[in-house]
Chain A
Amino acid sequence: DTEVTQTPKHLVMGMTNKKSLKCEQHMGHRAMYWYKQKAKKPPELMFVYSYEKLSINESVPSRFSPECPNSSLLNLHLHALQPEDSALYLCASSQDLGSYEQYFGPGTRLTVT
Chain B
Amino acid sequence: GESVGLHLPTLSVQEGDNSIINCAYSNSASDYFIWYKQESGKGPQFIIDIRSNMDKRQGQRVTVLLNKTVKHLSLQIAATQPGDSAVYFCAEQYGGATNKLIFGTGTLLAVQP
Contact = CB atoms under 8 A, between A and B. Distances in A.
Nearest to A9: B41
Contact of A107 (B43, B46, B104): B43
Contacts of B100: 45, 48, 56
A106 B97 contact: no
Contacts, number: 56
B76 interface: no
A43 interface: yes
Contact of B43 (A55, A90, A97): A90
Interface string A50-78: 00000110000000000000000000000
B78 interface: no
Chain A, interface residues (CB within 8 Å), range: 20 to 34
Contact of B99 (A99, A103, A106, A107): A99
Q: How large is the interface on B (under 10, 10 to 19, 20 to 34, 35 or more residues)?
A: 20 to 34
A48 B49 contact: no
B53 interface: no
Nearest to B105: A42
Nearest to A4: B43
Contacts of A99: 99
A48 B106 CA distance: 23
Contacts of B106: 40-42
Interface of A: 4, 40-45, 48, 55-56, 90, 92, 94, 97-107
Given A40-B8, A43-B44, 18 more contacts: A40-B106, A41-B105, A41-B106, A42-B89, A42-B105, A43-B103, A44-B103, A56-B100, A94-B99, A98-B95, A99-B99, A100-B32, A100-B49, A100-B99, A101-B46, A104-B44, A105-B43, A106-B43
8 contacts: A43-B101, A44-B103, A55-B98, A90-B43, A90-B44, A97-B97, A100-B93, A104-B45
